[in-house]
Amino acid sequence: MEVALDIDAGRALAEGRPEAVTTLFERHHRTLFAFFLRLTGHRALSEDLTQEVFLRILRYGATFQAGQPFKPWMFRIARRVHLDHLAKARPHVPLEDLLEEPPAAQPCALEGLQAREEAARLEAALARLPLRKRELLLLSRDPDLSHQDLAALLGCTVGSIKVQVHRALKELRTLFSEEAP
Amino acid sequence: MTTCAGMEALMAAALDGDLDRAGRERLEAHLVACAPCREDWVALPHLAEALATLPDPVPDPAFRARGLAALDAAAREAAGAPQREVRPDPDPDAGWRGWVMPFLLGAAAMLLLVGGVALGVGLGRREGPTDPVLAMLQQPSRAQRQAGLMLVRAGETTGPVPDLVPTLLRLVAEDPETSIRLAGVEALGLFTASPELRGTLVSAVARQDRPEVQGALADLLLVQQQRQGLEALRRLEREGRLQGPARQRMARAGC
């Protein structure tokens, strides 16, 4: 049902009805914001990158293949937007940005760890993971993205994706252990 | 004993349930003999699960209304408004506001100029708002109302807040366009300290018939009144007056 909403909106975009982008924004802007925030650590920048994704969706909607899953296409654009940002980012990072607080978690919804401290530790460990591995784990945690989708997104085989996810998780586990109080 | 390096692919395949019998036997033999890999085998699925259920950070409540308004404007422009020069590759450092907002504010200022003259003629004949921005918010033209909201958000109004807040609240409650209502909610966010808003926000949530707008108003209520706002939302929920998005906001805030 949820995916059907995306398919309908994607088809509308492909048919030249740009107003469908608001439906997609409503459904996915939080997901993208969280993705970007965990990649960049900057709230305002993450909002801008999220907005830029939807503006590109609006601009290139006619190229979306109706009937195809929407999310892999959206994340393809999101990765492009992030790469463009990295390519243009100034090497100097303001001190204020470095001191920005990490994203706030909502511990009550955490079922696996059931503790605010552990969720914060996991966020901190994730933030220390190298960018490429962090991006991979963030993409792999999305239930709507299959290993096949990830392989197509990242340009490698499904087998390679599985091994890369495994290695990234191992490294995350090490970092998580180092975050212990 | 086989080396650990070759086990990563086997473990990953086994966790996905697509490891054949021979591979499974190799993996089991290795896990019996290798304590570090055994630890990985136990711990990594839990870590993946914890990662998958980690609560996502949420954007600022105003971002949603701001984003929808900008997309709506861009969609309308794409649908046939006069073409303007569009930079093929907007500077991500400047962000979307960097190229959308100057255009929109420029258009708003032009409408204010044109609309203000027309309103000035009209004001000579009958009583009405003396602040041109306030008057724009009450125009039948969608473009005029949208431009007025942009000017409010840009701080370009001299109208008294006691007049402006009720006008915005009326817009949010009655405007036929959802995007205008959402932009109105964002404009109201500038006046959270206003007593006019404090006294009426709960009833604005209660009577709002568009789910997404009610959700944005609920965000505003929670920002403005926090605990009291949450209690007000719970009361409205018990009365059956909250729709899906506002209920979600309430649930998140109540965690």
Q: At what angle do helices B61-78 and A43-60 cross, to 10 degrees?
A: 20
Q: What is the pLDDT of residue A29?
A: 95
Distance from CA of B126 to the nearest CA of A (A): 38
Q: Which span out of A152-161, B65-74, B78-87, B221-230 was modeled with the highest average pLDDT?
A: A152-161
Q: Does B12 contact chain A (CB < 8 Å)?
A: yes
Residue with tokens 């949208």: B146
pTM, entire model? 0.56
B residues 21-80 closer than 8 Å to A (CB): 40, 43-44, 46-60, 63-64, 67-68, 70-72, 74-75, 78-79
Q: How many CB atoms lie within 10 A of CB A88?
A: 11
Contact B47 A176 (CB under 8 A): yes
Mutate to test the interface with A, among B8, B54, B76, B177 (most CBs of A within 10 A): B54
Mean pLDDT for chain B overall: 74
Q: Residue A175: pLDDT above 80?
A: yes
Q: Residue B57: pLDDT above 80?
A: yes
Dump pLDDT digits (tens) for A13-70: 888 787 788 889 999 999 999 999 999 999 999 999 999 999 999 888 888 887 788 8
Distance between CA B20 and CA B22 in Å, rounded?
6
pLDDT band for position B157 (50/70/90)?
low
* ipTM value: 0.81
Contact A48 B97 (CB under 8 A): yes
Mutate to test the interface with B, among A5, A48, A52, A122 (most CBs of B within 10 A): A48
Q: Does B237 contact chain A (CB < 8 Å)?
A: no
- Tokens found for residue B132: 């041109």
Helix count and strand count (H, E) for chain B? 13, 0
Contact B47 A21 (CB under 8 A): no
Task: Name residue A121's amino acid.
Answer: R
